[in-house]
Amino acid sequence: GAVVSQHPSWVICKSGTSVKIECRSLDFQATTMFWYRQFPKQSLMLMATSNEGSKATYEQGVEKDKFLINHASLTLSTLTVTSAHPEDSSFYICSVWVAGFYNEQFFGPGTRLTVL
Amino acid sequence: DAKTTQPTSMDCAEGRAANLPCNHSTISGNEYVYWYRQIHSQGPQYIIHGLKNNETNEMASLIITEDRKSSTLILPHATLRDTAVYYCIVSTLNTNAGKSTFGDGTTLTVKP
């Protein structure tokens, strides 16, 4: 199946700094990738849809200027948390939907962000 | 996407079958039932999906009722490694299929 990687797997940063998280689709070209956020003991919440070559679409309540998404190639999407604050501490997960033979969603291993 | 309801938690003895129910009473005709699981601090993992027929793969079986309003995921011989949160999702197969709405899922604890 498709392999989706994320980097870094965990990051600790100071409040006010920006953090970039990479999501790579290793086996499939992905015109669309999805970013989720998961707070402790809660379910996954979709943040945004990353579209290759165009602007990302954000879910209601997600600040697009705070969570910058760039999808510059068919295998890489990046999520930048700008001016991070402790309330942004969370588990960020990306995914790729693979149609056809698989018709399933492949998730990355997640990135644990802790903002001090 | 239609919403699903699942029990909050379940226990299962190691080696026994684990049967995880899911209600999706508002499912549309073109929506599939998907099951994913998430082991602690990892990304979710696909298990199985189906439209209306029962499905089986190397991981599990999926039983969908005839009216498609509910389904059951069966792990035939649960192991300790199957301890995880199991999510039942309904979704179409279009390009927005990745915009999955995750409910709270069922926390399955497999005990020795």
In whole angstroms, give the CA distance from residue A68 to residue A7.
16
Q: In this predicted model, what pLDDT tens digit does every residue of A3-35 receive, in sequence order?
A: 899 999 999 999 999 999 999 999 888 889 999
By Cβ distance, the residue of B38, B49, B95 closest to A104 is B49
CA-to-CA dists, residue B70 to A23, B10, B17, B34, angstroms: 34, 17, 19, 12
Nearest CA in chain B to A33: B98
Angle at A82 between CA A30 and CA A111, to 5 degrees: 55
Instruction: Give the 3-state secondary structure of residue B77.
Output: coil
Cβ pair B13, B71 in contact under 8 A? no
pLDDT in tens, chain A (116 residues): 668 999 999 999 999 999 999 999 998 888 899 999 999 999 999 999 998 888 999 999 999 999 999 998 999 999 999 999 999 999 999 999 888 878 889 999 999 999 99
Which of A90, A107, A113 best probes binding to B when mutated, by most B CB atoms within 10 angstroms? A107
* pLDDT tens-digit series, residues B56-91: 999 999 999 999 999 999 999 999 999 999 999 998
- CA B29 vs. chain centroid, Å, equals 18
Query: Cβ of B6: how many Cβ atoms within 10 Å?
Result: 21
